Amino acid sequence: MKQEPGKASGKGKDLNVIIILIDGARSDRLGRFESLDSVVNQGTLFPNMITYAPYTFATTHAFVTGMYGTENGMDSYYGVKKFKAAECKTLQLYLHEAGYYTVADLLSRFDFPEKGFDDYRVYDEQKDDLLKRHLALVKEISGLSSKGKKFYLFLHYASIHTEWVRNVAKKFDDFSPEYFDNRKKFAKLYNSYFSKAADYLKAVFGEIKANNLLDNSIVVVFSDHGASNAERVGEKLYGSYCYDYTIKAFVSFINKELFPAEKLEKQIRCIDVMPTLLDLLAIKPDTSFKPMQGKSLMPIIDGKEEEEKPAFSETAPLGGPWPSPSKPTVHAIRFNGWKLVFYAKPKKFDLFNLAEDPKEKNNLESKFPEKKKELLKLMLNYRPGLKELI
């Protein structure tokens, strides 16, 4: 008997898991590239997934632990050694212990820890053909499925990042007029890289389908963060600020028996994906490790939960006006259509009504002191130490 779409909590325990990360893919490009839309629209798409950090390594650690860097220790560009591996159980370790053959192909060993992977690969972003490489890997791992072996495959597609670094980050600084005065030019350039990423996704998804993996797998497609298109002086790439063009990402869960093909606009967090997968796979959280902060999305998908959860983000800027690569100094909380941002170094706040001001142009801090107070209280739940700076 087929399961009713969206009623699958705990019903996917025998399924493979395939996760495809499209690095640097802005959520506002959804609906503009047929190749990408043809894939993500086959499942339950959340176009408002708020990421923990506007750069990869802190976000991927949050993604595979279900908790923010405030808890897992990985909260800055230079924070990899601070990751609390003994206290935070990763998705790969959960699945490995559950009998999955676990494989990853990554941009860097800083993406997340190797422990829990049977096959841990790192490619050369300057030389390797990621499409060719990942098509071959999908075909390779399909052999396990045909033999009745469950697998977990994580593919990191980083070409948007690679090209944006090569053609923007290495040519301009965070204040270059020739970059920030030519927004349309660089938005068009970004779109060209996004288009290639969309074509990559369509091809890899086609290979998944061709190898008969769609029916016995959960496919998750997500972006880790967005990227500047010259919107704000001080941020040529990402990581200087916490504006929506970098912290608003997306995720799509694909399996026709588990997820209806629909778009859910409700705000979710990147930390919610891991507990959703554990919920579907009937894997209980290990109480000998720190508890996950994220929550399963199945109640939202089932239509049983309406309340939005606050989304916390922060960054430890490599550059921009207030560099601090070892410690996060820009902190944001996003909730019910509002966002509060605290900049620790200049000690200032921005308050935005996102429903009326989606481009975040008008700081309403002085006009809505009670809203600021409400959001600040939520922010301090994640970073209580900020109270001493405010």
Sorted by where each begins, the domain ranges of the chain are: 16-301, 329-388
How many CA within 13 A on the CB side of residue 23? 25
Contact indicator for 359, 232 with CB cutoff of 8 Å:
no
How many CA within 13 A on the CB side of residue 181? 4
Distances (CA, A) of 63 to 129, 166, 274: 25, 26, 7
Interatomic CA distance for residues 180 and 80, integer angstroms = 31
CATH architecture label of 16-301: 3-Layer(aba) Sandwich (3.40)
Interatomic CA distance for residues 104 and 152, integer angstroms = 8
In one-letter notation, the amino acid at residue 44 is T
Q: Would you write out the chain's pLDDT as a tens digit for each of its 390 residues?
A: 334 444 445 677 789 999 999 999 999 999 999 999 999 999 999 999 999 999 999 999 999 999 999 999 999 998 989 999 999 999 999 999 999 999 999 999 999 999 999 999 999 999 999 999 999 999 999 998 878 899 999 999 999 999 999 999 999 999 999 999 999 999 999 999 999 999 999 999 999 999 999 999 999 999 999 999 999 999 999 999 999 999 999 999 999 999 999 999 999 999 999 999 999 999 999 999 999 999 999 999 999 988 899 999 999 999 999 999 999 999 999 999 999 999 999 999 999 999 999 999 999 999 999 999 999 999 999 999 999 998
- pTM for the model: 0.96
Cα angle value 92/254/146 (rounded, 5°): 65
Distance of CA 310 to the CA centre of its chain: 16
CATH of 329-388, one of 3.30.1120.10, 1.20.1730.10, 1.10.287.70, 1.20.120.80: 3.30.1120.10
Residue tagged 């499942």 (tokens):
43
Cα angle value 209/213/219 (rounded, 5°): 90
